[in-house]
Amino acid sequence: MSSFCVLRTRCFLRQVFPGLSATMLRSYSLGVSPPLLRTQGYWDGRWVSAASVFPVLDPATGQELARVSDCGPVEAKQAVDAAYRAFQSWKQTTAKERSVLLRKWFDLMNVHKEDLARLITFECGKPLQEARGEIAYSASFLEWFSEEARRVYGDIVPSAAKDRKIFLLKQPVGVASIITPWNFPSAMITRKIGAALAAGCTVVIKPAEDTPLSALALAEVSRYSLTLTNDSSSEAGVLMSKSELEIIKSVQLAEQAGIPAGVVNVVPCSREKTPAVGNVLCTDPLVAKISFTGSTATGKLLLRLAADTVKKASMELGGHAAFIVFDSADLDRAVGGAMASKFRNSGQTCVCSNRFLVQSSIYDTFMEKLAQKMDAELRLGHGSEPETTQGPLINTRAAEKVAHQISDAVSHGARVLRGGKRLDGSFMEPTLLADVTADMLCMKEETFGPLVPVVRFNTEEEAVAIANASNVGLAGYFYSQDVGQIWRVAEALEVGIVGVNEGLLSCPEATFGGVKQSGLGREGSKYGIEEYLEVKYMCLGALK
């Protein structure tokens, strides 16, 4: 088997992609190397089947991609036990050893970047160019934390007593449960496990039920042996085509990634079994830490589960980002930033701009420029098509939510300038709304879709008040060329991440996390590894 085909009918495509070109009427091939299309759970270095399976669907077509092992609490417990056993030896490895292994994993991700990107496109719906970008972003966290592994420093503190020395040691917390979302099925894993493994922790990953294939492929990549031979009896010969082997020869990758058994474990499960699996991952006494990215409501539930055993927790929860355009802004740059911030992954990111605030004196000009930009640049279609910029939403529930927000806004006086229609399947037209007011539903709850509601404002104070009128505070954006205003607004916005004249912010070098009910802790940067460490005070006394 050299590829995994997803078949469609002409009738189905005409319904889902009305008005799209005839090129959409052909079949699409996933085209991923078979060993990367893993469908079993993975723990203790072994691929393990569960008693039942659940389907993974292409959200663009509704067609089945694969059937994945539907793990339950028994399998979750086995994975936790494996991680705990592996922790006893993994925590003894040196920082340099962990650094080298993470760097090898980074190299292997780059070798297999095209296959990994196609998995994201087919199970998540993300356009292929964006999926490639996610793989580069995902791999960058392994590279970053491979470097940070060697920079975990303790402290020697001056003692008030002459016969004592005070040392503050940093040690790994232990087993970490990693629970990740579907919208970045690769990057949300590596941002967490890169830090965890660098610190000396072991992990159990519970990927989203919509997108488990990317997590399982990452586990497979972590265990590869890359040899400079195309002998079909060798692992390399099975895993890679001749062209892939040539790539490996050219970059001289000839050693194992070598992540030991039990250090990385993956427990996929269906939506129905998620509560039971989550319960194990958040309550088992062998688990020392949980790290979760997802909705605020689910995060609160997991925190309650973890409270009985007082686990360390990192939470990257919901956002409802404001995007403010002041009258001093470079409008063309602001429009470009709005496009990048809103329509990446069809509006399905936690730092997407949701509430657009434009100063009255430039409101009409901004709306005209943004509408023209949407017409010129946005193309709906299957993510594997090169011209596609907007794929489907993850499922029909997501599309229904966006359609409901549009209906509510229109019923309260908003005008639809572009889009506004719910298409068949989980596709949604990119939509621009004018004359939006703060009491509309789209201004009160996170959208997670391609909807741009734009509010007029008159003063800086008014804009900041509207932006801060939310119980979450992950990201915020604003455009201004007034230096004094830049400092005032950046400090006043109640968020963890601020983009000033910039619509794309995420990178491994900077912190990622929010305030209010957007979560706890920070990921990425030099601070990300601290989430997986404990500080131990050691007093050396009786010195002469």
Q: Which residue has the tokens 């010969």?
A: 237
Q: Is 429 labeled as catalytic in the residue annotation?
A: no
Question: Catalytic: which of 316, 429, 460, 523?
Answer: 316
**C-beta of residue 57 within 8 angstroms of C-beta of residue 64:** yes
211 neighbors 123 (Cβ within 8 angstroms): yes
- 380, 382, 388, 392 alpha-carbon torsion, rounded to 10°: 50
What is the greatest pairwise CA distance in the chain?
87
- Coil, strand or helix at 435: coil
Tell me, what amino acid is at 237? G
Q: Is 400 exposed, middle or buried (0-12, 13-18, 19+ CB in 10 A)?
A: middle
Select which of 71, 124, 350, 442 is catalytic: 350
Spatial neighbors of 114 by CB under 8 A, at least 6 apart, are: 132
CB 513 within 8 A of CB 473: no
Told to judge if 316 belongs to the known catalytic residues of this protein, a careful annotator would answer yes
Residues 245 and 430: beta-carbon distance below 8 Å: no
Beta strands 41-43; 46-48: pairing state: antiparallel
Residues 427, 380: Cα–Cα separation, whole Å = 8
Please check whether residue 66 is in contact with residue 162, taking contact to mean a CB–CB distance below 8 angstroms: no
What whole-number distance in Å separates Cα of residue 520 and Cα of residue 340?
26
- Cβ atoms 187, 158 nearer than 8 A: no
Reading the block at residue 39, the tokens are 């469908």
Q: Which amino acid is at 33?
A: S
What is the C-alpha to C-alpha distance for residues 376 and 470, in angstroms, rounded to an integer?
Answer: 33
Please work out, in degrees rounded to the nearest 5, the angle formed at the alpha carbon of residue 190 by the alpha carbons of 295 and 520: 40
Q: Are 518 and 532 in contact (CB under 8 A)?
A: no
Which residues are identified as catalytic? 316, 350
